[in-house]
Amino acid sequence: MGRLDNKVAIVTGGAQGQGASIVRSYVAEGAQVLIADVAKDHGQALADELGDAAHFVHHDVSDAASWASVVDDVNTRFGPVNVLANNAGILRFGDIERQPAEEVELLWRINQMGVFLGMQAVTRTMRKNGGGSIINASSVEGLAGMPSCTAYAATKWAIRGMTKCAAMELGPKGIRVNSVHPGMIDTPMTRVHGGDAAMEFGASRVPLRRVGHPEDIAPVYVFLGSDESSYINGAEIAVDGGVTSTHAFGA
């Protein structure tokens, strides 16, 4: 019996990297999954690979109307959504003196507003159908600081705070809300900022002396999406090889 049998999930940013690993793990454990992403080719290819248990939709997480369409789609296609993996996000580095306001706003709209709108969009369905689990992707930069990361970290600290407030508000409705805080994970999003050299630097700062991989993150999402975590609410779970045991990457 799969750990996610009878679960219906939305995974944002599910077409590649960390999100794709979450999608594959969810399907392997018995869930039906809506893959929501702006990357059409990768998302459709993943849905085709996984068969009837997965479906891809083009989705802009910063758009409330897009969220309403996604929730309607999954509710009609698979049944009432009861797991939301708010995984979509972007990474931009920038010095305080020089980072353009437009880039700061883009980070806020996708990372922070996207998570808020996702929680808002699924709450009614979850409440009416006995509850659910929302898993918000923060970061180790939502637990500690790093130079040239102020705008990005602001969104990840915000996600951490929103998660705790939502856990208190939605808990009485049977909806659990938790945050996951990955460290440096080897994905296309992180590799674009330095490639192999960045991965080597990251590994040198981690007590386990390696960077993470998407397969290191997905099991946490499976656990939090399953009934095994039924008494976990408002928690923040670092999956970082131990880097936040002492300091951030930039220390």
Residue 9 parent element (H or E): strand 8-12
CB 50 within 8 A of CB 24: yes
What does each C-alpha distance from 248 to 55, 143, 184 come to in angstroms? 37, 8, 11
Q: Nearest CA to 250 among 152, 108, 109, 170?
A: 152
Q: Could you say which DSSP state residue 173 is in? A: G
For the annotated catalytic residues, the residue numbers are 152
Distance CA 10, CA 32 (A): 9
Distance CA 130, CA 49 (A): 31
What b/e string do you get for 41-65 counting C-beta neighbours within 10 Å, with b at 16 or more?
ebbbebbeebeeebbbbebbbbeee
CB 138 within 8 A of CB 159: yes
Distance CA 228, CA 184 (A): 27
Return the SS3 of 109: helix
